[in-house]
Amino acid sequence: MLRYDTSGLYGRDGLTKSDVPGGDDEQIRKAVEQLYQRTESGELGFMDTPDTSFEPIQAWADERLHEEWKAQLVIGIGGSSLGARAVLSSALPAHKRGLDTYIADNLDPETVDRLFSFLDPKTTLVVVITKSGTTVETMSQFWIARQWIADAVGEDRADRHFVAITDPEKGELRKLVDQHRWFDFEVPSNVGGRFSVLTPVGLIPLALAGYPIDELLAGARDARDRHRQLDDAAQSWGVAAAEHLMLAEGGYQQLVMMTYADRLQGLVDWFRQLWAESLGKAKNRNGELVNVGITPIKAVGVVDQHSQVQLYMEGPKNKYFSFLEVEQFERDRIIPESPNMPDALAHLQGRRLSEVFAAELKGTRGALAESGRPTSTWRFDRITPRSVGAFLFSWQMITAVAGEMMDINAFDQPGVELGKQIAHGLLGQDKTRKFADLARSPSATGTKTVLQVL
């Protein structure tokens, strides 16, 4: 079971019940209705992703698992890799009985070199994920992988090592697929990257890793279908979205998601992209400058109690908090009893680590509430594929409804494009060469900005 408790958002310095409209509010109802209409028209596809047919994907992956492959190298960035990474990091070893999985996303040359030096090209399957086929980070590493494989097994055998997940009709990677006859799967044209974890983008790497994708999809489907009726959707996702927007209007412009389970850290990383890219926009749908957004911040309990909570407790009241809590861990340890235990710690004897962990969470949450900081909690009974799927889809819906209520396009990311154009221009691409000058150092203005340190 997965529950979302927002009671801590209300009270001193937070929301009041009169602040947030109920499920019958016209703005919420209209926002949810618009999403359903855009889905029914085929414009948006993410709400249908829990219905993705897993059987063909599973059957294909099972065939690969009976071949000589020992590892898969997933090459993709952002929405092309964060979903699979998040789900895999939430899994116990019992959930992963397939290929050893490595994800190449960041372009750090030392990390990339170490990865290619470590893996055996003869037994590695390479999964390349990019909708456009022109993503610099992905395609740079793809061409390195292509040469790496060809050098090891020969050009004539290299193609069988590659799996492409890309646009069904267009793009540079699609051209390569058609030319080389690689295994390939489609990125649905109406599903953006950060909403694509329940499509082949996430499901292919997960199935190859041996993860139960049927259970993941079932959890997402349960979360969707539980609130399929408009009234229920308005009362859950709609009100949840409205709570976030009302907090932002009240000055709480930063959302700290703090996980008290290491296996859920990847979900926070996935959430940050979803929330930031979807809701951080300069203009609304009328082209008016609005510069909106709520900044997502990752925190890890109990580690960040000793590095960030001082700021959260006593710093500016511009942050609110969402905790990820697990009620039952699969493994645990007991603190032993000892006559040498200092009196100040004697109360810990015989306690399970999970008890101490839970007390730390409740202590941090209670202290924040006492200082007037709004909190909410996502409560996992246990971390299972179903609960992970439900979490993923719930946040997709909350994000999408919030975008509708803000009157912005939650499904594009225009602010990312200029940086890409500058990078291409610096690397010599003719059509973007004009953007290269935008990378000039601020010192070019005549102001001294560089401090010699060493």
Active site residues: 277, 306, 420
Tokens of 241: 């979205």
Q: What is the 3-state secondary structure (H, E, C) of the chain?
A: CEEEECHHHECCCCECCCCCCCCCCHHHHHHHHHHHHHHHCCCCCHHHHHHCCHHHHHHHHHHHHCCCCCEEEEECCHHHCHHHHHHHHCCCHHHCCCCEEEEECCCCHHHHHHHHHHCCHHHEEEEEECCCCCCHHHHHHHHHHHHHHHHHHCHHHHHHHEEEEECCCCCHHHHHHHHHCCEEEECCCCCCHHHCCCCHHHHHHHHHCCCCHHHHHHHHHHHHHHCCCHHHHHHHHHHHHHHHHHHHHCCCCEEEEEECCHHHHHHHHHHHHHHHHHHCEEECCCCCEEEECCEEEEEECCHHHHCCHHHHHHCCCCEEEEEEEECCCCCCCECCCCCCCCHHHHHHCCCEHHHHHHHHHHHHHHHHHHCCCCEEEEEECCCCHHHHHHHHHHHHHHHHHHHHHHCCCCCCCHHHHHHHHHHHHHCCCHHHHHHHHHHCCHHHHCCCCCCCCC
Asked if omega into 302 is within 30° of 0 (cis), the reply is yes
For residues 428 and 397, give the distance between their C-alpha atoms in angstroms, rounded to a whole number: 41
**2-5 and 375-380: which strand pairing?**
antiparallel
